[in-house]
A and B are shown apart, each in its own frame.
Chain A
């Protein structure tokens, strides 16, 4: 998907308008510098059928996980989006810093019960996956 068809402001507004709070983060997958996919569901036991969604971040530049307090990701307690310069710190001794660039990316953050997950990406897509029997 061409990124220039999604101005940053429009993407940020769409993300800000999402109603993610209270959803359970069940799984997380980050694939190279391509995309990150989160599996979200309604809290278990609330309804006979679980509503499952995929939240996918595209044009992924960076992902940082700080989930330090428990066995589960838990529920989403909050989500926010902010602008962040493309320039990032080098990851290793032999990796040169990325050249200074005027491009600005979006930083998407989700606070969950167990910590915080941050993605620096160009866009996101939220889609319903399926409805399945709730467990637990």
Chain B
């Protein structure tokens, strides 16, 4: 799978409009987000779906004003990544095992903030589909 394939797969993930319910950051191993889609209103979970967005092998990230319960408004891959260039420039000993060519810059923009993740891969898991029960 090429870098373009991975970023296109990420861009097709159905997370826009979802609210952040949980966040786990264990650098450089992983970053995990749980996101709940609200098809109607924030206080009505009928028909909602909960996803886990898992990023593996994360040598760098940046979080700006990212809040619990904040909603994702857009997401996608970032070309010509400043985060990647910073990583190459400043990578420290614990990150040396990461191959810069295999890293991708993933970006999630929320109502109030932004989460940038430099990672080797990502996975999207559907945890709960309330509309299906």
Contacts and interface: CB of A to CB of B under 8 A. Distances in A.
B25 interface: yes
A66 interface: yes
Nearest to A135: B94
Interface in B52-83: 59-71
A94 B42 contact: yes
B94 A136 contact: yes
A65 B66 CA distance: 5
Contacts of B63: 65-68, 115
A45 to B, nearest CB: 11
B71 A92 contact: yes
What range describes how many residues of A lie at the interface?
20 to 34
Given A28-B24, A71-B59, A66 B64 contact: yes
Given A71-B95, A136-B94, A91 B62 contact: no
Contact of B68 (A33, A73, A92, A94): A33
A95 interface: yes
A67 B31 CA distance: 14
B27 interface: yes
Nearest to A118: B67
A115 B65 CA distance: 11
B60 A91 contact: no
Interface stretch (B1-9, B15-23, B125-133): B15-23
Interface string B32-65: 0000001001110000000000000001111111
B87 A71 contact: yes
Interface string A23-60: 00011111111000000000000000000000000001
Contacts of A26: 26
Nearest to B41: A94
A87 interface: no
A69 interface: yes
B67 A91 contact: yes
A69 B42 contact: no
Contacts of A92: 19, 38, 42, 71, 111
Closest A-B pairs by Cβ, 4 of them: A71-B60, A95-B42, A63-B68, A65-B63
10 contacts: A29-B22, A29-B25, A30-B22, A32-B68, A66-B66, A71-B59, A71-B60, A71-B95, A91-B112, A92-B42
